[in-house]
């Protein structure tokens, strides 16, 4: 099949000497490769039902029209096959902290989920849904009317049962007339082969600031079912994180609003598929008092030693922090600072139990500011064993995501090139290992 490992010639010509120098002096990284040949942003990483790496992104078609694409790697992340278009996602509104997501069920079914803002609905973009080829319509257009608040959002999803060739009509996650704002979602596959989704929702009790946290689960080919609230009140503008461990226990972490003004990260767990969740517990007592939206949420991973968390906070000082729990969220230890300039952390674990954390940070200030991707390697116990910057200032990279391969991590991110915004990726290997 045609491969998509496309280097932009003009970009390579201007940066090849810098890239080569970095590769020779830093064995922890490979050269940034470009996945998309169109203006693209917001990468996502997952694995398909055959355990192959899948890289997704948002492609910009016009000023206010976007769609989701993805590509599968058949050689463990070294290159990617021709991209697949998620045709109903033409309704998509891009937001890096409310990133579109793909999940592949063991049955082969693919579910794509994305967010739509009220502005997009008011502009009538949803009327163009399905105008691309290969979109399968099994009923009338199911897109909801625009909510009254310009800041509100809605979540839509579509299913494919034939490896992305055809997709069902996009439909809203929430059909309740009282549900007019759903955002900041995450998805994960449970041990039963079904997909669980969590999201922030306006349907909370009382008039206090913030949102409620909801959960739903798929049932066979019928989409998301059994929607129910699991907590309130949450920060209404912070990314959520969902993790399902090998024992099929559910773990969620998100920003909670405590005592009307404190926005700290909390963890909840469930042992019965989400029907009953534990009482939210702070992963650290930051006591961060903030009334604005941080727009940088938490991340979480698990290995044989327990759960591990990373998050941004401006208390006790502006930084991204790390902590662990060896008792499934009963207590938290090892509070440390990852970086004082880091934002948007993402984290994952290799089969050998090593932890990788990536983030974006400011590399240079002044007339020509630059952002890049930082990375820290941690031992199975959460101890730092390596730290580096994966990108050069010239690459202007942000919003990284991370996926475990056999013995290395696949890291993808937005990167600014001379011809526009693109999606870049590279393979990061553990300290003292050779670059593939």
Q: What is the pLDDT of residue 8?
A: 36
Residue 128 has pLDDT above 50, yes or no: no
Report the chain's mean pLDDT, rounded to a whole number. 87
Confidence of residue 3 (pLDDT cuts 50, 70, 90): very low
User: H or E stretch including 11?
Assistant: helix 9-25
The pTM of the full predicted model, rounded to 2 decimals, is 0.88
Q: What is the pLDDT of residue 336?
A: 97
The string over 296-332, giving b where at least 16 C-beta atoms fall within 10 Å of a residue's C-beta and e elsewhere, is bbbbbbbbebbbbbbbbbebeeebbbbbbbeebbeeb
Report the C-alpha gap between 175 and 259 in whole angstroms: 31
pLDDT at 64 over 60: yes
Is a pLDDT exceeding 80 seen at residue 303? yes
Q: Is the pLDDT of residue 1 over 50?
A: no
N- to C-terminal Cα separation, the chain: 22
- Tell me, what's the pLDDT at 24? 26
pLDDT of residue 4: 43
Lowest pLDDT segment from 86-90, 206-210, 315-319: 206-210
pLDDT for 152 equals: 86
Strand blocks (E) in 276-369: 281-282, 299-303, 306-313, 319-325, 333-339, 342-349, 355-364
Which pLDDT score is estimated for 119?
Answer: 67
pLDDT in tens, 235-277: 988 899 999 999 999 999 999 999 878 999 999 999 999 999 9
Kindly report which listed range (141-145, 221-225, 423-427) carries the lowest average pLDDT score: 141-145
> Per-residue pLDDT tens for 38-63?
899 999 999 999 999 999 999 999 99
């Amino acid at each position: 099949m045609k491969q998509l490992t496309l280097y932009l010639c003009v970009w390579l010509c201007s940066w090849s000497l810098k890239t080569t120098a970095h590769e020779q002096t830093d064995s922890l990284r490979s050269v940034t490769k470009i996945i998309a040949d169109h203006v693209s942003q917001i990468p996502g990483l997952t694995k398909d039902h055959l355990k192959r790496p899948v890289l997704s992104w948002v492609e910009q078609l016009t000023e206010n029209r976007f769609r989701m694409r993805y590509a599968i790697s058949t050689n463990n992340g070294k290159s990617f096959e021709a991209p697949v278009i998620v045709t109903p996602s033409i309704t998509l509104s891009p937001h890096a902290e409310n990133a579109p997501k793909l999940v592949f069920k063991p049955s082969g079914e693919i579910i794509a989920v994305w967010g739509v803002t009220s502005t997009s609905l008011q502009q009538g973009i949803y009327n163009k849904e399905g105008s691309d080829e290969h979109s399968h319509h099994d009923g009338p257009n199911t897109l909801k009317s625009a909510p009254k608040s310009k800041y509100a959002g809605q979540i839509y999803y579509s299913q494919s049962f034939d490896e992305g060739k055809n997709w069902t009509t996009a439909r809203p996650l929430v059909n309740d007339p009282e549900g007019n704002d759903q955002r900041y979602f995450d998805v994960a596959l449970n041990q039963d082969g079904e997909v669980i989704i969590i999201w922030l929702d306006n349907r909370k009790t009382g008039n206090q600031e913030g949102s409620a946290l909801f959960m739903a689960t798929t049932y066979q080919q019928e989409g998301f079912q059994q929607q129910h609230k699991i907590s309130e009140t949450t920060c209404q503008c912070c990314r959520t994180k969902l993790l399902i461990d090998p024992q099929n226990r559910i773990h969620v972490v998100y920003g909670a609003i405590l005592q009307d003004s404190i926005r700290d990260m909390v963890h909840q767990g469930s042992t019965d598929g989400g029907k009953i969740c534990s009482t939210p517990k702070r992963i650290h007592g930051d006591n961060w008092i903030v009334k604005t939206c941080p727009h940088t949420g938490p991340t979480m991973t698990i290995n044989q030693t327990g759960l591990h968390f990373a998050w941004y906070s401006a208390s006790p000082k502006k930084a991204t922090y790390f902590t662990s729990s060896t008792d499934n969220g009963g207590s938290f230890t090892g509070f440390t600072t990852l970086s004082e300039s880091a934002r948007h952390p993402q984290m994952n674990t290799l089969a050998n139990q090593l932890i990788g954390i990536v983030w974006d940070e400011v590399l240079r200030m002044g007339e020509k500011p630059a952002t890049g991707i930082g990375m820290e390697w941690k031992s199975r116990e959460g101890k730092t064993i390596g730290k580096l910057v994966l990108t050069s200032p010239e690459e202007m990279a942000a919003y990284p995501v991370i996926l475990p391969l056999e013995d290395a991590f696949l890291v993808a991110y937005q990167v600014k090139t001379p011809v526009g915004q693109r999606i870049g990726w590279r393979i990061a290997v553990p300290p003292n290992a050779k670059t593939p």
